[in-house]
């Protein structure tokens, strides 16, 4: 056992010998530290308060000591004096270390240097830390350790704590925005017998009692659309999705998605909703539309650009969506597999390689090839294009939206074309097709990646920075 830990265990035992529970009971009605500071006034000098927090710094000066407590609202100085707490209590105080959590009661005053301070009448040991915090509480510098030991990262880094509190507030604001538009929040299954609603490789699990394989959901889409059939006209879910794919600064296999469906709307209505939601969040956080991101800034000023998939492909990749040979040649040039691959799939890969990196300020990319959008209505003026948009900000896809296909026979045809070379059993959600036959209203659907949205709104360039516990490789 390391010497530092052993020393702290010895202090732990000495606390117990003195009749102190080193992992004390609850400490109800403690005032958040920031509230103590904000409530101070000279007229109420000496007002008694009760607060709690983790010891960040400590300066012992014989019979008196100063320390700083920290909770998730802020930091507060505490003055502990032998003559005030008594000799027996001060001996207990001498057994405390950085990282210990204590409760304090006493009067509030301002020091000669102007710092709001609690003059302790009493304190309570609430949790004895057996490991020391990062040196001088400057926080963890090793990024890998920060992600693996998020508990230390949060406690020692105010910016990290602030970021995750912002994330919570962003999600709360999204709910408030949708509530005002009369959406209803719902929950749909996370374990599904057929993975559907998106094209992705699923995680597989097994239910022992039913003796059947299940899939962690890759998207909630088909269940949410069932609710449209049932008459729930505005529904949304903030959900966890699971895709058995790669790790990167923009991808985590387990991620948070907000997905919604609005009856009698379409992808144009979803563009308005998306733009209003994101610009509103930016205004709440920054009071302006231009926000920092990495070494650049993003201009979120509405209205946002709308560009067709084919126009952007032509502009940045110099290929035509209808030119199959040209697409294959460009694909080969980029090292993309083109043999026995549909030209629209090749175009999608070329778009990812050459176009996405050019899309910095908000851009709605609209009207994708219908062959890669099996759940989407076709454009009225061109049946080969789908009423779909993807929103790009800072070269990342943040949102995906359709004018939802509600024609059961056409939906069945597209599903079967998708799996034309496979056994369809277990591949197609036949119950969803049955639901469509009962009649689903025309609707707009929208999915927004919450993690990536938080990245943009908090100036975080890695998705791991906005997920409390990102998936990491096992340590060897």
C-alpha 443/C-alpha 452 separation (Å) is 25
Share of the chain above pLDDT 90, in %: 86
CA gap 58, 66 in Å, rounded: 6
For the chain, what is the radius of gyration of the CA atoms? 29
Looking at every residue in the chain, the average pLDDT score rounds to 94
- Alpha carbon distance 172, 158 (integer Å): 21
User: Which residues fall in the annotated binding site for Mg(2+)?
Assistant: 390, 397
Classify 169 as helix, strand or coil: helix
Contact 166, 458 (CB under 8 A): yes
Tens digits of residue pLDDT in 254-302: 999 999 999 999 999 999 999 999 999 999 999 999 999 999 999 999 9
Average pLDDT for residues 381-385, to the nearest whole number? 95
- pLDDT of 427 > 90? The answer is no
User: For position 426, what pLDDT does the model report?
Assistant: 57
Q: What pLDDT is recorded for position 133?
A: 86
Q: Has residue 197 got a pLDDT over 90?
A: no
Give yes or no for residue 421 having a pLDDT over 70: no
- pLDDT band for position 422 (cuts 50, 70, 90): low
- All residues at 6 or more sequence positions from 259 whose CB lies less than 8 Å from its CB, including other chains: 219, 220, 221, 224, 236, 237, 239, 445, 446, 447, 448
Is residue 443 within 8 A of residue 262, CB to CB? The reply is yes
Determine the longest span between alpha carbons in the chain, in angstroms.
89
Of 118-122, 280-284, 350-354, 471-475, where does mean pLDDT reach its minimum? 471-475
326-368 confidence digits (pLDDT tens):
999 999 999 999 999 999 999 999 999 999 999 999 999 999 9
Burial state string for 405-436 with b = 16 or more CB within 10 A and e = fewer than 16: bbebeebbebbeeeeeeeeeeeebbeebbebb
Per-residue model confidence (pLDDT) at position 137: 43
pLDDT surpasses 90 at 453: yes
Strands 396-403 and 443-449: antiparallel
> Which token pair is 432?
């969803």
Find out whether the peptide bond into 217 is cis, omega within 30 degrees of 0: no
Confidence of residue 1 (pLDDT cuts 50, 70, 90): low
For residue 303, is the peptide bond before it cis, meaning its omega torsion is within 30 degrees of 0? yes
Give pLDDT tens digits for 8-54. 999 999 999 999 999 988 999 999 999 999 999 999 999 999 999 99
Which pLDDT tens digit goes with each residue over 142-165? Answer: 788 889 999 999 998 899 999 999
Task: Assess contact for 125 and 15: CB atoms under 8 A.
Answer: yes
pTM: predicted TM-score of the whole model, two decimal places: 0.92
Give binding residues as ranges: 390, 397
Tell me the domains of the chain and their CATH numbers.
Answer: 3-133 (2.40.50.140), 155-304+361-465 (3.30.930.10)
Instruction: Give residue 61's pLDDT.
Output: 87
């Amino acid at each position: 056992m390391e010497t530092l830990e052993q020393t702290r265990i010895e202090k732990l035992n000495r606390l117990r010998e003195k009749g102190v529970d080193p992992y004390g009971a609850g400490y109800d009605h403690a005032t958040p530290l920031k509230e103590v500071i904000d409530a101070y006034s000279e007229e109420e000098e000496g007002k008694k308060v009760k607060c709690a927090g983790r010891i960040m710094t400590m300066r012992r000066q014989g019979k008196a000591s100063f320390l700083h407590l920290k909770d998730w609202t802020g930091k507060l100085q505490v003055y502990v004096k032998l003559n005030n707490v008594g000799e027996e209590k001060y001996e207990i105080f001498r057994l405390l270390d950085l990282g210990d959590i204590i409760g304090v009661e006493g009067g509030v005053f301002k020091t000669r240097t102007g710092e709001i301070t609690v003059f302790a009448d009493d304190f309570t040991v609430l949790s004895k830390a057996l490991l020391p915090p990062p040196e001088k509480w400057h926080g963890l510098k090793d990024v890998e350790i920060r992600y693996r030991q998020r508990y230390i990262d949060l406690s020692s880094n105010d910016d990290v704590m602030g970021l995750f509190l912002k994330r919570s507030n962003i999600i709360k604001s999204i709910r408030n925005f949708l509530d005002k538009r009369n959406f209803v929040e719902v929950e749909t299954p996370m374990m599904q017998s057929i993975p559907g609603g998106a094209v992705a490789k699923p995680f597989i699990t097994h239910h022992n009692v039913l003796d059947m394989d299940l899939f962690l959901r890759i998207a909630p889409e088909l269940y949410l659309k069932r609710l449209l059939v049932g008459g729930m006209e505005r529904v949304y879910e903030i959900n966890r999705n699971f895709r058995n794919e790669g790790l990167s600064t923009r991808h985590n296999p387990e991620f948070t998605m907000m997905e919604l469906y609005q009856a009698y709307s379409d992808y144009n209505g979803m563009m308005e909703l998306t733009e209003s939601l994101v610009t509103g969040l930016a205004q709440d956080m920054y009071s302006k539309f231009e926000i920092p991101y990495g070494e650049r800034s993003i201009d979120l000023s509405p209205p946002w650009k709308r560009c067709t998939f084919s126009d952007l492909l032509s502009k940045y990749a110099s290929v035509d969506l209808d030119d199959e040979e040209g697409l294959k040649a460009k694909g080969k040039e980029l090292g993309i597999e083109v043999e026995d691959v549909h030209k629209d799939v090749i175009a999608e890969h070329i778009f990812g390689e050459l176009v996405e990196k050019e899309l910095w300020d908000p851009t709605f990319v609209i009207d994708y090839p219908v062959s890669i959008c099996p759940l989407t209505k076709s454009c009225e003026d061109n049946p080969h294009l789908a009423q779909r948009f993807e929103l790009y900000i800072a070269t990342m896809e943040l949102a995906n939206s359709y004018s939802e296909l509600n024609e059961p026979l056409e939906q069945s045809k597209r599903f079967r074309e998708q799996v034309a070379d496979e056994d369809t059993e277990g591949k197609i959600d036949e119950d969803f097709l049955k639901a469509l036959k009962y009649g689903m209203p025309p609707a707009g659907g929208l999915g927004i990646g919450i993690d990536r949205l938080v990245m943009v709104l908090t100036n975080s360039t890695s998705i791991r920075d906005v997920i409390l516990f990102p998936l990491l490789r096992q340590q060897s």
